[in-house]
Structure 1
Amino acid sequence: MSDMLNEKTRASAWFRELRNEIVTAFEGLEDAFGGDEPAGRFEITETTRQSDDGSDAGGGLMSVMRGGRVFEKVGVNISTVYGTLGIRAQAAMAARKGLEGMAEDPRFWAAGISLVAHMQNPHSPAVHMNTRMFWTPHGWWFGGGSDLNPCIEYAEDTAHFHSVQKEHCDKHGTEHYQRLKDWADEYFYIPHRNRARGVGGIFLDDHNTGDWEADFGFIQDIGRAFLPAFVPLTEKRMAQPWGEVEKDKQLVHRGLYAEYNLVYDRGTKFGLETGHDANAVLMSLPPMAKWV
């Protein structure tokens, strides 16, 4: 299989473009909210990754805003990394994808965007989004999605988030949305709590129909759905009054979110096992949380 240099370049550039659009939109929300405190701004840090022999193995940008008017903590990370998979990662990938030959040629390349937003206002839902492309000499795949994580659920907010996801999925066939919604419900589930971590969204993994252009277009539309699905909810809720009771609900829900990301999330496990910057990998964790 070719190394798909042009396709990799296009995918990596798209994730950066999406990142730029989201950062601009989020800083715009900070400006629109007003108040005595300065509007939040992202701090940008370049991340690097080295292989076991010390050679360059890629990196990315970690963009984090803390203590804003609207966002208590939000991270929008992009990365493009490459190298060879370790023994455990080889075995996991071979088992999940049914591949042969990983041990003989364990090279990989991966690029993507990962976002998690934790909000100041408990009425404003937290959110997660990521999209990615993964390549090995044995195949390429796309994956990702987004899900909404309110501590105080509003049915109309949930309906809006899902309707925008469906609209963007339907551009590629009306059969996709329900499958991806069901997949998200299964994936973003916390077995030891016997509950979902939020109100769902869409999710897919190991996506390869054999048509790279079509699959790339699909993953782009999953990314494009994010801002129109999420920003209107933030605009509606960011000035809603709240007190200690609502804040307590938010902190307890954040504890649930942290449990999922540390125990079950495949992206967290992959990032730590492949030597990526730990601060970037664990960016998803909330700034404050509590457990009852």
Structure 2
Amino acid sequence: MNDMADARQQAAHWFRELRDRITAAFEALEDRGPGDDAPGRFEVTPTERAENGGGGIMSVMRGGRVFEKVGVNWSEVHGNLSPKAQAAMAARGVPGMQDDPRFWASGISLVAHMQNPHAPAVHMNTRMFWTPGAWWFGGGADLNPCIEYPEDTAHFHATMQAACAAHDAAYYPRFKDWADEYFFIPHRGRARGVGGIFFDDLNSGDWQADFAFTRAVGEAFLPAFLPLAEARCTQGWDDADKEAQLVHRGLYAEYNLVYDRGTKFGLETGHNADAVLMSLPPLAKWV
């Protein structure tokens, strides 16, 4: 695509539109959720970067009927990479990065921690990144139950597989393996959940095709996750189930603070720290 400025705005607009649809769907699920308490609603806060330009929208819901804490963030940022981030991208082989630190990025990032221990936590993000020498897409989604149900895992993976297969038959096995590797916690010797898909540095040379695939991943999220959340949010649970949830959340916090690439990038580039760290659970436990 010749007009990359227009391409960037197309991507940013779509990521924001996806954010709007997901927050609306989550609030609708809250309306249908169990209990007599008021349904949860998102608190929406504009964010700005401490340096350079751009910002976004941080949307966080706490203490709902279904969601204990869920964040759905959208951002569009630009400026110059820090020397550390610039060196890291140069080491990854990003063209021109050694000589020109300028960048632009936009995306949506979502993490949901649930009230009911039987309902799985979940993560999803899709994004576009641009430098003067390159552009690429990245993202994915992964399921993080503390109490696994094989049928839930199968549904989530089947939905992601269908989204991938519509664009390239090789995508799902490749991106599933990448997720298994990426979401592994080395110091615990285990994965943080039951996986999903993960991809980065996607540039086939056809911007429209890569953008279409990235949209497909985003579109697949609600069909992959919402039926699981709705089915499990009314299931009975006891103190042992809650204990298992809190301990599992400790794994999630460890991963996001120690290994997650998006956390590191957001903090290194001066984005709002609360928005970057919205992925952390409201309560966790270590034994």
Q: Confirm or deny a common fold (TM above 0.5).
A: yes
Residues 195-214 of structure 1 correspond to what in structure 2 (within 5 A)? 195-214=190-209
Structure 2 partner of 1:77? 73
Runs of 4+ in 1 over 6 A off after TM superposition: none
Question: What is the distance in 2 between the residues matched to 1:22 and 1:256?
Answer: 26
Aligned pair 1:193/2:196, yes or no? no
Report the Cα distance in structure 2 between the residues aligned to 1:239 and 1:34, rounded to whole angstroms. Answer: 6
Is the contact made by 1:3 and 1:137 (CA closer than 8 Å) also made in structure 2?
Answer: no
Matches within 5 A, 1:30-49: 30-49=30-49
Say if 1:60 and 1:79, in contact at 8 Å, map to a contact too: yes
Q: In the alignment, is residue 29 of structure 1 matched against residue 32 of structure 2?
A: no
2-structure distance, mates of 1:40, 1:290: 24
Is the contact between residue 119 and residue 229 of structure 2 (CA under 8 Å) also seen in structure 1?
yes
Give the drift of 1:262.
0.2
2:60 is matched with which residue: 57, 60, 64?
A: 64
Which aligned pairs between 1:96-245 and structure 2 lie closer than 5 A? 96=92, 98-245=93-240
Unpaired runs of 5+ residues, structure 2, are: none
- 1:285 corresponding residue in structure 2: 280
Q: Which residue in 1 is equivalent to 2:11?
A: 11
Contact 1:79 1:113 in 2 (8 A): yes
| 1:151–1:250 CA contact under 8 A, matched in 2 | yes
Query: What is the Cα deviation at residue 101 of structure 1?
Result: 3.1
2:83 matched residue in structure 1: 87
Q: Is the 8 A contact 1:2 1:137 kept in 2?
A: no
Q: CA deviation at 1:99?
A: 3.3
Q: Name which of 235, 238, 246 aligns with 2:241.
A: 246
Q: Tell me the SS of whatever aligns to 2:122.
A: strand
For 1:247 and 1:266, the matched residues in 2 are separated by: 29
Q: Contact 1:66–1:72 (CA<8 Å) still a contact in 2?
A: yes
CA contact (8 A) 1:143 1:207 kept: yes
Equivalent position SS for 2:187 = helix
Instruction: Letter of the 2:192 partner, please give it.
Output: R
RMSD: 1.2
Shift of 1:34: 4.1
Q: Secondary structure at the match of 2:199?
A: strand
CA drift at 1:2 = 6.8
> How many Å apart are 1:218 and its aligned residue?
0.4
Secondary structure of 2:271's aligned partner:
coil
- Is the Cα contact below 8 Å between 1:43 and 1:65 reproduced in 2? yes
- Give the share of equivalent positions with the same residue, in percent: 70
CA contact (8 A) 2:119 2:228 kept: yes
SS in 2 for 1:225: helix
C-alpha distance in 1 between matches for 2:275 and 2:166: 33
Query: What secondary structure is seen at the aligned counterpart in 2 of 1:275?
Result: coil
Kindly state the Cα deviation for residue 4 of structure 1 after the two structures are TM-superposed.
1.1
List per-residue Cα deviations over 1:160-206 (Å, max 9, x = no partner).
Answer: 00000011111102111111100000000000000000000000000
Letter in 1 for 2:206: D
The alpha-carbon deviation at position 103 of structure 1 amounts to 3.5
Aligned residues: 287
Contact 1:50 1:58 in 2 (8 A): no
